């Protein structure tokens, strides 16, 4: 069996590595070719080129890279045609992956195409599912409510579990040793600050986090603030907090591997009594650690207008969506202010009923996403093989 597999960014590479491992366990004679990163290469993929060539975000960043991206698409299509795969597996990164799928389908209409990670059509731009169905036959969904959206559009779809449930949470001993090493007193309140991992996010959210920290410090005796910095912006973070009246302890990622830094971050989440987070996937990481949170997000004017116009739902938080509650307070766009955020964060620190309500919602979310079940990589592999068996 031959599988041509594509990922264009680190999150997709992690999914691809777990899927490849599962496919090898279930179908030992499988052969792979395609594009991926370190996780997929560890499972035996010889990537056609460096996956970083595809990891570009933002219109201004993409424009000068278009000629190179087009060359990479052509190179990938040519390699896939020579490989003659039984299945094309594309992972997220639709701008690259679905263009490759479209060109391959044009020459091999019967080629089976599986896409890993359903587009969030339940949140915005529902027409994406119909567009994807022109080139994709089967979808592997991370969220339990997504399959009906895909089947209505004409694709088969299985919920295979979210990768967050496969991440190992720190033990009590690990967390205690980490706290002692970093000088964090677990007997005093700990607040985790997560203003973002990109420069634009930091410039918009940093001042808000700094002011909220100042206000919280006046009302919660002995409170400690910890900010796990992303590698790409650690210098910006350190310069930013120097201007804050209440400076947090910045967890510096330099000198540690990616995996080690992810685990250190999870230990901060486990130690924290509450977190103030910029809206995004970090909310699920906090939920996995049972850390109550307040979520905020500020965008530029054009992005704000676009999201408000296209949004299909009134919450961006997956815990709220999965549990069909509004347990997680969100302050988005013009409501993302210290005046509104501070009372919500104080409630988590001072009212155990509010904090426990969030912890219950977090636990329900993890169960719904597959915690305690089969590894998502193995579930994804079984889904791919079952799809191929059905369509032979």
62-119: pLDDT as tens digits: 556 677 888 999 999 999 999 999 999 999 888 889 999 999 999 999 999 999 999 8
Q: Is residue 15 part of a domain?
A: yes
From CA 370, how far away is CA 164, in angstroms rounded?
9
DSSP character string of 195-258: --SSHHHHHHHHHHHHHHHHHHHHHSTT-EEEEE--GGGHHHHHHHHTT-SSPPEEE--TTS-H
Domain span at residue 337? 172-368
273-293: pLDDT as tens digits: 999 999 778 999 999 999 999
Is the same domain home to 136 and 241?
no
Is the same domain home to 198 and 92?
no
From CA 237, how far away is CA 178, in angstroms rounded?
21
CA angle 384, 388, 392 (to 5 degrees): 180
From CA 135, how far away is CA 104, in angstroms rounded?
9
Q: Is residue 167 part of a domain?
A: no
Is the same domain home to 120 and 8?
yes
Q: 266 near 170, Cβ under 8 Å?
A: yes
Is the same domain home to 136 and 182?
no
pLDDT recorded at residue 380? 98
At residue 58 the predicted structure's pLDDT band, cuts being 50, 70 and 90, is very low
Is the same domain home to 96 and 80?
yes
Is the same domain home to 145 and 255?
no
Question: Which residues, in sequence order, are bridge partners of residue 31?
Answer: 2
Is the same domain home to 95 and 31?
yes
Domain count, the chain: 2
At residue 136 the predicted structure's pLDDT band, cuts being 50, 70 and 90, is very high
Is the same domain home to 181 and 224?
yes
Q: Is residue 378 part of a domain?
A: yes
Ranges of H-type helices in the chain: 10-26, 38-42, 59-62, 66-83, 94-107, 127-133, 147-152, 172-182, 199-219, 234-241, 258-271, 282-288, 301-310, 318-323, 338-350, 352-368, 376-391
Q: Is residue 42 part of a domain?
A: yes
Q: Is residue 383 part of a domain?
A: yes
Residue 148 has pLDDT above 50, yes or no: yes
CA angle 265, 201, 317 (to 5 degrees): 70
Is the same domain home to 247 and 116?
no
Buried b (16+ CB within 10 A) or exposed e, 160-197: bbbbbbbeeebeeebbeebbeeeebebeebbbbbbbbb
Is the same domain home to 99 and 210?
no
Is the same domain home to 38 and 182?
no
Whole-structure pTM value: 0.88
Q: 333 near 304, Cβ under 8 Å?
A: yes
Q: Is residue 318 part of a domain?
A: yes
From CA 115, how far away is CA 92, in angstroms rounded?
7
Is the same domain home to 8 and 145?
yes
Q: For the domain that residue 93 is a member of, what is the CATH number?
A: 3.40.50.2000
Tell me which of 9 and 173 has the higher pLDDT. Answer: 173
């Amino acid at each position: 069996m031959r599988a041509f597999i594509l990922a264009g960014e680190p999150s997709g590479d992690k999914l691809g590595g777990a899927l490849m491992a599962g496919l090898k366990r279930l179908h030992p004679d499988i052969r792979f070719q395609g594009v991926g990163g370190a996780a997929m290469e560890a499972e035996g993929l010889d990537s056609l080129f460096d996956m970083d060539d595809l990891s570009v975000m933002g219109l201004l960043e993409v424009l000068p890279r278009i000629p190179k991206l087009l060359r990479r698409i052509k190179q990938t299509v040519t390699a896939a045609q020579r490989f003659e795969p039984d299945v094309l597996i594309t992972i997220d990164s639709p701008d690259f992956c679905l263009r490759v799928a479209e060109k391959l389908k044009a020459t091999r209409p019967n080629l089976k195409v599986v896409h890993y990670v359903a587009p969030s059509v339940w949140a915005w731009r529902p027409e994406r599912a119909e567009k994807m169905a022109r080139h994709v036959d089967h979808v592997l969904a991370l969220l339990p409510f997504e399959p009906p959206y895909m089947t209505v559009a004409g694709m088969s779809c299985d919920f295979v579990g979210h990768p967050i449930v496969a991440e190992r949470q720190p033990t009590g001993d690990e967390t205690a040793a980490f706290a002692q090493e970093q000088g964090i007193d677990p007997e005093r309140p700990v607040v985790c600050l997560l203003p973002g991992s990109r420069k634009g996010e930091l410039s918009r959210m940093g001042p808000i986090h700094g002011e909220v920290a100042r206000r919280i410090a006046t009302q919660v005796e002995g409170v400690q603030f910890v900010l796990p910095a992303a590698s790409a912006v650690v210098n910006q973070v350190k310069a930013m907090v120097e201007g804050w009246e209440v400076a947090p302890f910045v967890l510096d990622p330099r000198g540690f591997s990616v995996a080690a830094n992810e685990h250190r971050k999870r230990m901060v989440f486990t130690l924290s009594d509450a977190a103030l987070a910029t809206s995004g996937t970090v909310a699920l990481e906090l939920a996995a650690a049972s850390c109550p949170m307040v979520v905020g997000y500020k965008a530029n004017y054009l992005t704000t207008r676009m999201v408000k116009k296209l949004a299909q739902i009134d919450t961006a938080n997956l815990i709220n969506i999965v549990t069909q509650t509004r347990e997680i307070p969100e302050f988005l766009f013009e409501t993302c202010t210290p005046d509104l955020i501070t009372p919500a964060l104080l409630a988590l620190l001072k009212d155990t009923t509010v904090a426990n309500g969030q912890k219950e919602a977090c636990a329900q979310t993890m169960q719904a996403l597959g915690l305690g079940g089969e590894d998502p990589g193995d579930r994804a592999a079984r889904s791919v093989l079952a799809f191929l068996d059905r369509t032979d």
